[in-house]
Structure 1
Amino acid sequence: MGYLVRLILAVSTTVLAGCSTLGTREISSAELASLTPPATVSAEETKEDRQYPVLYGTTRAPSGDGTYSDQRDVQVHYGKVMVKIPKGHVTGSLGKKAIWPWRSDTHLSVQEITPLRSQDDFVGLMQRSLSNIRQTQSDYVVVFIHGFNNSFNDAAIRAAQIGADLDVPENNMIFFSWAARSSIDQYTVDEATVDASEIYLRTFLQSVIQGAGTRQVHVIAHSMGNRALLRTIVASLENASAAQHMQFGQIILAAADVDRDLFAQLGPNYLKVAQRTTVYLSPYDYAVHASGLVHAYPRVGCGDVPQVMIKGIDNVVSFIPDDIPAHAYFAEALPLLVDIKNLIRRNTPERPAPLWNYNNGFWTIGEAVPGALANRMRCKTQTTLHVNAG
């Protein structure tokens, strides 16, 4: 067992690297989906270079080179980043830097960071940007919250990749970057920092909601970023009147590095603030599996069946083998990108058989990877906690 734990931990260090109305009658999500064709995601390479803008809020201290450091600040900094998505970009990929001069560089890269002076400037920029796009194209914005071992630029690039691949209109993709250390040996430091980020994330999300106006705000939280989001939602419900509660469209909880028992206790709060909440987990997420071993208790984002089943919250277990050891599968596997895009666009997933299966109250995609090593390292759910949020 000691060998297996060490092996999993060694592998993990490499990978931790809407409601609508027609007249006065409310349209159900099922009706809305029937009126909206299923969304797809193109698997073709991009034909030309593209500059993709993403807005941001960060609690990182500014650095001297025009970007942001891995040190905490005691305020939210706002701004806009231009990310280059080069010709040859493949959906679900961050690209590769060219080693040889005759090969094309397909790696996404930060081109320009433009800080804003204040929260009001950020809200104003959002309002102006969204007003320039037809309402039918931009009736939503998407906020991405990154996880452990991410720099500011890492977060910006991942947000741009997700936004571009999901066809999120320019300036509608937003990310929040807490002061994670971009180092695999700083896990406990990041744990302390993400816990201290809750009040700032709450402020930022309130700014986004104000800037979005009547548009829906969808949230995608990844890995340790789920901890900040969960605490933020709980705090907003405890400290605000019903009229001031933050309301969201889709909340996507991807590869959540969150304690199973804590999620069983606090997770039902998502039902109070989101139109739909979806948990994505994988038995091959060795990063989250390693976190479970470190903490001695299972994490929400790793298992072969859901760790927690809360009535009203959807669970998707991904057996897709393309990204073993998996941790970013939600943003890299084409079927899951399609799934998220349908949730955002239609509030209804498009999960056709035989690729998708629904049994025992949750969804699965793909089949278990054969082989003794994959089976030994697979994260197996020992007990599913069932919560009736009634």
Structure 2
Amino acid sequence: MVFIHLRRLVLPVAALLLCAACASRPENVFLASEPAAISTAKVDMLVATTRNASAVPGEMFGGDRSSAGFGEIVISIPPGHKPGAVEWPKKIPADPATSFATLSAETISRDEAKARFAKRLARGPSRNVLVFVHGYNNRFDDAVFRFAQIVHDSGTDAIPVLFTWPSRGELLAYGYDRDSATYSRSALEHLLQYLVDDKSVDEISVLAHSMGNWVTLETLRQIAIRDDGIPPKIRNVMLADADVDIDIFRTQVAEMGKKRPAFTVFVSKDDKALAVSKVLWGSNARLGEIDPDAPQYREFLAENRIDVVNMTDIKTDDRINHGKFAESPDIIRLIGKQLATGQPLTDANPKVNPISSVGLATASAITTLTGSGPVGQ
């Protein structure tokens, strides 16, 4: 019976994922394009990674594990960009007028990365940092282009830093990806500790997606145990579609103690990818798919002051409902608000936020998210 249940869940989701993978995407997207004749928006991100450096021109980093590597990439966003979408190039070099395009991409040393980060801080306008940790089945280019879209669409002026771990970018490499995320905990800790120690940095926010939540939460737990709490400079941690067992999350939060950042959890009860993960792991629930109104979760969320954005009623083009946090323009704007104010979403503007202190959406908030309220206008 379990096998039949698993088969019914896995096969449809696998078909959808394979369908998406078959979409036309060129290789070697980090071969630089000529700047467009028209004006385009640009996202300049620094990269820290535990991926291997690739010898393939235009690939930069692959899916094998390695020691820490660094880079800087500038991505151009086309004028006709649709919020929530990534307009992948149809050919290389890409045309910045019609698609996301790489304007520059360099692999650099640790010392050069520190120097360039210092220059970014010096020129402003913000001294805040946003660290993005991607999820399972992500190639390096997937992570870069998605992060560029998030930074652009959220409107944040925080300095974007991508932490990318060695995902194979293959549907059937779930176990390898999970081990790679665990392998990368100390590297993420070193990155966060460097940012904490830099006196020029005002505030650090972390946005994690899917399996990236595992490495993020394990890293924060590791920091808290070692340092008797998490430094207050790490102020906001946003956990989207978290592929983490809810019971493990409870223990991670408890072991972090009281000195921890503000957590915002983005959940969707119709997340098909997490439904498959739950069966694969024999889990009662994955964090990213819980019902925040259920009594067993409501009390835990309230006691630990964890905010929840319930995305279940949000509709996007994502047929497995595992990327709503990035593909919904309204959710991206909410993330931008949190980054801009440096406050939990419930404190930023209660008239337009879809959450309460225990994560239950009010009727007016649901109206906001479906596009008829202030945020959706």
Q: TM-score range by the shorter chain?
A: 0.7 to 0.9
TM-score, with structure 2 as normaliser:
0.78
Quick one: which of 186, 203, 222 aligns to 1:216?
203
Match of 2:372 in 1: none
Match of 1:145 in 2: 133
Q: Does 1:343 align with 2:338?
A: yes
The structure-2 alpha-carbon separation of the partners of 1:161 and 1:210, relative to structure 1 and needing over 3 Å to count, comes to farther
Match of 1:376 in 2: none
Report the Cα offset of residue 87 of structure 1: 2.2
Match of 1:321 in 2: 315
TM-score, with structure 1 as normaliser:
0.75
Report the Cα offset of residue 211 of structure 1: 4.4
Note if contact 1:340-1:349 (Cα within 8 Å) is conserved in structure 2: no
Map Cα deviations across residues 106-150 of structure 1 (whole Å, 9 max, x no partner).
Answer: 4424443212212x332221121111123xxx1411000001001
Report the Cα offset of residue 241 of structure 1: 5.8
TM-align CA RMSD: 2.8
Note if contact 2:337-2:348 (Cα within 8 Å) is conserved in structure 1: yes
Q: Does 1:68 align with 2:61?
A: yes
Report the Cα offset of residue 277 of structure 1: 1.0
- In structure 1, distance between residues paired with 2:218 and 2:48: 18
Report the Cα offset of residue 105 of structure 1: 7.2
Query: What amino acid is aligned across from residue 71 of structure 1 in structure 2?
Result: D
Match of 1:189 in 2: 176
Q: By percentage of residues, which structure has more helix?
A: 2
Query: What amino acid is aligned across from residue 8 of structure 1 in structure 2?
Result: L
Note if contact 1:253-1:279 (Cα within 8 Å) is conserved in structure 2: yes
Q: Unpaired runs of 5+ in structure 1?
A: 18-46, 368-390
The structure-2 alpha-carbon separation of the partners of 1:325 and 1:208, relative to structure 1 and needing over 3 Å to count, comes to same
Query: What amino acid is aligned across from residue 75 of structure 2 in structure 1?
Result: V
Report the Cα offset of residue 202 of structure 1: 0.7
Note if contact 1:143-1:218 (Cα within 8 Å) is conserved in structure 2: yes
Match of 2:289 in 1: 302
Map Cα deviations across residues 348-368 of structure 1 (whole Å, 9 max, x no partner).
Answer: 343547x8464x93233649x
Map Cα deviations across residues 183-226 of structure 1 (whole Å, 9 max, x no partner).
Answer: 00100111111111111111122223344724101000110011
Report the Cα offset of residue 3 of structure 1: 5.9
- In structure 2, distance between residues paired with 1:139 and 1:117: 22
- In structure 2, distance between residues paired with 1:57 and 1:113: 13
Q: By percentage of residues, which structure has more strand?
A: 1
Query: What amino acid is aligned across from residue 144 of structure 2 in structure 1?
Result: A
Note if contact 2:202-2:233 (Cα within 8 Å) is conserved in structure 1: no
Quick one: which of 249, 265, 290 aligns to 2:251?
265
How many equivalent pairs are there?
A: 326
- Greater RCO, 1 or 2 (C-alpha within 8 Å, sep 6+): 1
Identity of aligned residues (%): 25
Bigger mean CA deviation after superposition, 5-14 or 154-163: 5-14
3-state SS of 2:237 partner: strand
- In structure 1, distance between residues paired with 2:255 and 2:340: 23
Note if contact 2:196-2:231 (Cα within 8 Å) is conserved in structure 1: no
